[in-house]
Amino acid sequence: MKYVDEFRDPEQARKWLEKISALAKQVQAGKDRPLHIMEVCGGHTHTIFRYGIKQMLPPEIELVHGPGCPVCVLPMGRVDDCLALAEHPEVILTTFGDAMRVPGSLKSLLQAKAEGADVRMVYSPTDALSIARKHPDKEVVFFALGFETTMPSTALTVLQAEEEGIKNFSLFCNHITIIPTIKAILDSPDLQLDGFLGPGHVSMIIGQHPYLFIADEHKKPLVIAGFEPLDILQSIWMILNQLKEQRHEIENQYGRVVQVEGNHNALEAIEKVFELREFFEWRGLGSIERSGVRVREGYALYDAERKFSIPNLKIADPKSCQCGEVLRGTLKPKDCKVFGTTCTPETPLGALMVSTEGACAAYYSYGRMDSFESKRETTT
């Protein structure tokens, strides 16, 4: 397929890997651990595992899978709140597919659906609005999830509902914002990161400026990266290059999509409909200041949290789960106590095992190669 295959060319990959290997050796020399590069975004995690990039990289580089999977960082209490909404007899709950399997404290949306709740999978919030048009006697609640990437489409759907005078549509808003979370990770005392792959799609909306503090205050390089495998390789090389030259800057590898200033129209729609919450709870990371948004007072009609009484539960993550340490990059998925034993994609305990963009699920489904490789060496 044109415009895609160019970014997946194995010959190009080989060339980049040679450059990366040479550079990584220089940069890592004298360090007692491999270089840690965090991909913030779940989309990158997926690409890395999908194409087997992890195994192609030299041993001097270790990729750390960050918090950028919105489904994964959703706290259990919010899932329970969503379930309470879904089980309301007047509600049709609409959601993206990967949110269906996220475990609440007792069940998932998929189980609630099996028990009779009207839960429907949609591909975009406008699909949810269409359902609202078709069922004027029901309240259609959209389980709004995601970073700045999905925020504009949710905001525009609310504006569309207002324009059409549709009153039976609302959001259960769980949109989150990436910057405070990167900040929280950088502030954690056990931080061992050397650089970041910046989230391409989020950056398409917010632009380059919000990342400046990473370079200025924390002295770490960040390269905004695209989602094709060659994008990832080139971005890794760009980070290594900065490290070698002892620079720490915000660079943009994804120039074909990301503008320095971001997308003005999208930001305007977000600003119109949403406002920052003082705190938002992240699964595994705890409460992070100004890291989530809610619907503004002026659009209260479209806010399920105002329309319905929601239990607003706080539920602690299962004690055995080490999602937080994995999210901060201090623990590898396979080193978690419950990884692959009581926590598997089939019966996920922690949220990172739920979505294919979750570090643990990706590692489980695509990645568990390390043990094989050592085994292969011993048998051959």
Nearest residue (CB) to another protein, 246 versus 380: 380
To the nearest whole angstrom, how small is the minimum distance from the Cβ of residue 337 to another protein? 21
Give the span between the Cα atoms of 174 and 100, in whole angstroms: 15
> Residue 17 CB, nearest distance to another protein (Å)?
8
Torsional sign, CA 345, 348, 353, 354 = positive
* Min CB(92)–another protein separation in Å: 15
Contacting residues for 217 by C-beta, under 8 A, at least 6 apart: none
Integer CA distances (angstroms), 120 to 123, 141, 145, 173, 180, in order:
10, 10, 15, 17, 32
Which tokens belong to 317? Answer: 């993550």
Chain contacts with another protein (rule: CB under 8 A): 1, 4, 8, 10, 13-14, 46, 49-56, 101, 110, 122-123, 127, 229, 344-346, 356, 364-369, 372, 375-376, 379
User: Which one, 13 or 202, has the nearer CB to another protein?
Assistant: 13
Nearest residue (CB) to another protein, 39 versus 251: 39
User: Count of residues for the chain?
Assistant: 380
Work out how close the CB of 147 gets to another protein at its nearest, in angstroms, rounded to a whole number. 16
C-alpha distances (whole Å) from 168 to each of 87, 162, 356 are: 16, 11, 32
In angstroms, give the least distance from the CB of 320 to another protein: 20
- What single-letter amino acid sits at 210? P
Q: Which is nearer to another protein, 54 or 78 (CB)?
A: 54
Measure the CA–CA gap between 346 and 286, rounded to whole angstroms. 25
Q: Residue 204 CB, nearest distance to another protein (Å)?
A: 17
Instruction: Quote the tokens at residue 209.
Output: 């400026």
Q: State which residue, 50 or 135, has the beta carbon closest to another protein.
A: 50
Q: Which is nearer to another protein, 254 or 274 (CB)?
A: 254
